[in-house]
A = this chain, B = another copy of it.
Amino acid sequence: MTLDRALTIGKHEYSLLTDLYQLTMTACYVGESIEDKSASFELFARSLPPQYGYLIAMGLAQVCEYLENLRFSPEQIAALQATGIFQNAPDRFWQLLESGGFTGDLWAVAEGSAIFPYEPLLRVDAPLWQAQLVETYLLNTVNYQTLIATRAARMRDTAGERAKMLEFGTRRAFSPQGAIWAARAALAGGLDATSNVLAALKLGEKPEGTMAHALVMAVGTLAGGDENEAFAAFGRYFPRAPLLIDTYDTVKAAANLAKQIIAGEKQIGGVRLDSGDLVALSRQVRSLLPNVPIFASGDLDEWEIARLQRDGAVIDGYGIGTRLVTGTPVNGVYKLVEIDGIPTMKLAVGKVSYPGRKQIFRRGSPNICDRLGLMEEDPENGETPLLELVMKAGKRVKEEEAIAVIRQRTAVSVASLPGETRHLENPQSIPVEISQSLLDLKTRISKK
């Protein structure tokens, strides 16, 4: 076996980034000669995370990259064979993996669109084995990216357009790639910049940041215990970078800086508060440093931002980390809705499903209103179908969008939602009507 044993993931290793059963089921499909039957799977969430009224669709860029590169190398095939798991699999299974790539169609909602329970974020129409095999990766990327984008959109909606919002989550993100992907979705969801250097450079953005307590302590200690030395030192190389003023005594630090500014000895680009009572401290700092932007950080999320605003904090920017990049996930699922032209539906207890290849028909005004129907239905008056053809026969037919374009769509999407859907406390999802044809189909299948 010549797989790279390091826990980094090589560019060409993603085909194996799947649950074992996708491969065993593929082997079974081949054995039963049904691997090429046309199948349709839809990815959707049955519910929203607690206290969410909407989701912002995200992750399509990674889905396309993955589908375009789906193939198995001889080394990967050898590694699979060496497990002994596939000893009864037909030879054609291995030939399929060797020769295969993704040749299907992908329909998806544009990244940055608002989406609601049971609405497909994407559909794969492909030979059964391909549509099956890609499930794990597609769920992984769409669930995670959608979660982060939704959170970012809600935080932006709460903080307002003028707040500067920075993504600081890398140290708490779930793996390095989790950090990179969080940065992407956060920017596309409405944040201004990320502190993650690699993420920013990969996304063609400029990283942003402030300074850490360690510098205040290191420079200050070496210079005899004075944090002013640390501020002066950092300012020599980064005159516009915000200074972190809570290492020892926030108000004293602000007062010292004020004296220097008044004496004309100093200009500063901002200050950051990372601990203590942010309401009281921000007001004290503002009175001492009236023209200096104040950044706050430390376990912030949309609820905490709202509380700070309500309580009269004067904060111009937020550094957002832990509560953006960790927590309760989006529980998207990927379900077979049609096989060989026959609509299908799972009947497991307590889990509602809708059969068949679907389309979301959205009416944008006066109020946003969705109808979940079948693909073949026509849009009614003023409705727009949300699922667009993104890949055709394995090739992209819709170009990848720039982060700025997606961020703009997110902003428009959120602005189009009613207040009760944007609320932070008990938000209400918009009503999603189920079309008569879809209801009829569901009834027909349930009876079988």
Smallest CB–CB gap between A328 and chain B, Å?
Answer: 7
Q: Which of B1, B8, B32, B39 contacts A177 (CB 8 A)?
A: B8
User: Does A4 sit at the interface, judged by CB under 8 A?
Assistant: yes
Residue among B28, B79, B200 making CB contact with A237, cutoff 8 Å: B28
> Measured between alpha carbons, how far is A117 from B39 in the docked complex, in Å?
52
Judge whether A322 is part of the interface by a CB distance below 8 angstroms: yes
**Contacts A19-B171, A172-B139, A176-B140 given; does A217 touch B344 at CB 8 Å:** yes
The verdict on A262 contacting chain B, using a C-beta distance below 8 Å, is no
For window 28-44 of chain A, which residues contact chain B by CB distance below 8 Å? 28-29, 31-32, 34, 37, 39, 41
Report chain B residues within 8 Å CB of A91: none
Q: Is there contact, CB below 8 Å, between B16 and A175?
A: no
Given contacts A211-B24, A326-B328, contact A276 B350 (CB under 8 A): yes
B144 & A20 in contact (Cβ 8 Å cutoff): no
A394 and B206 alpha carbons, distance in the complex (Å): 31
- The answer, yes or no, to whether A329 is at the interface (CB within 8 Å) is yes
Per-position binary interface string of chain A over residues 313-352, scored 1 when its CB falls under 8 Å from any chain B CB and 0 otherwise: 0000000001001111101001110011010101111110
The answer to whether the Cβ of A393 comes within 8 Å of any Cβ in the partner chain is: no
Q: In the complex, A349→B248 CA distance in Å? A: 8
Q: Decide: B339 and A222 in contact? CB cutoff 8 A.
A: yes
In the bound complex, what is the Cα–Cα distance between A276 and B221 (angstroms)? 61
A177-B178, A225-B448 known; A198 vs B17 contact (CB < 8 Å): yes
Q: Give residues 174-213 of A contacting B (CB, 8 Å).
A: 174-182, 184, 195-198, 200-202, 204, 206-213
Query: Are the C-beta atoms of A348 and B275 separated by less than 8 Å?
Result: yes
Q: How far is the CB of A201 from chain B (nearest CB, A)?
A: 5
Complex Cα spacing A336 to B197, Å: 22
- Give the distance in Å from the alpha carbon of A171 to the alpha carbon of B43 in the complex: 12
A197–B25 touching, CB < 8 Å: no
Q: How many copies of this chain? A: 2
- Say yes or no for A310: interface residue by CB 8 A criterion: no
Give how many A residues have a beta carbon under 8 Å from the other chain's beta carbons: 129
Assembled-state Cα–Cα distance A34/B236 (Å): 15
| Interface membership of A89, Cβ < 8 A | yes
Asked if A209 contacts B247 (CB within 8 A), the reply is no
Contacts of A250 in B (CB 8 A): 349
Instruction: State whether A19 touches B336 (Cβ < 8 A).
Output: no
A207 in complex: contacting residue of B14, B20, B347, B351, CB < 8 Å: B20
Task: Name the contact of A328 in the complex, choosing from B39, B184, B327 (C-beta under 8 A).
Answer: B327
Most buried by B among A4, A84, A144: A144
Chain B residues lying within 8 Å of A349, measured Cβ to Cβ, are: 246, 250, 275-277
Interface 1/0s, chain A 84-104, versus B by CB < 8 A?
Answer: 111011100000000000000
Q: What residues of chain B lie closer than 8 Å to A13, measured between beta carbons?
A: 198
Given contacts A140-B171, A144-B174, contact A340 B34 (CB under 8 A): no
Chain B, Cβ-Cβ closest to A24: B238
Which chain B residues lie closer than 8 Å to A86 at the CB level? Answer: 237
A275 and B350 within 8 A (CB): yes
CA–CA, A233 to B28, complex, Å? Answer: 7
A218 touches B128 (CB 8 A): yes
**Per-residue B-contact encoding for A52-63, CB less than 8 Å = 1, 0 else:** 000000000110
Knowing A140-B175, A218-B128 are in contact, say whether A212-B85 is a contact too (CB < 8 A): no
What separation, in Å, do the CA atoms of A27 and B240 have in the docked complex? 15
Bound complex: CA of A79 vs CA of B23, how far in Å?
A: 40
Which 3 interchain pairs have the tightest Cβ spacing? A177-B177, A20-B209, A139-B171
Query: Which A positions have Cβ atoms within 8 angstroms of B?
Result: 1, 3-11, 13-14, 16-25, 27-29, 31-32, 34, 37, 39, 41, 61-62, 65, 79-80, 83-86, 88-90, 128, 132, 135-137, 139-141, 143-144, 168, 170-182, 184, 195-198, 200-202, 204, 206-215, 217-219, 221-222, 225, 233-234, 236-239, 241, 246-250, 274-277, 322, 325-329, 331, 334-336, 339-340, 342, 344, 346-351, 448
In addition to A9-B198, A19-B170, 11 A-B residue pairs with Cβ atoms within 8 Å of each other are: A19-B195, A25-B212, A28-B234, A37-B218, A128-B218, A139-B172, A144-B175, A214-B335, A247-B346, A250-B349, A276-B348
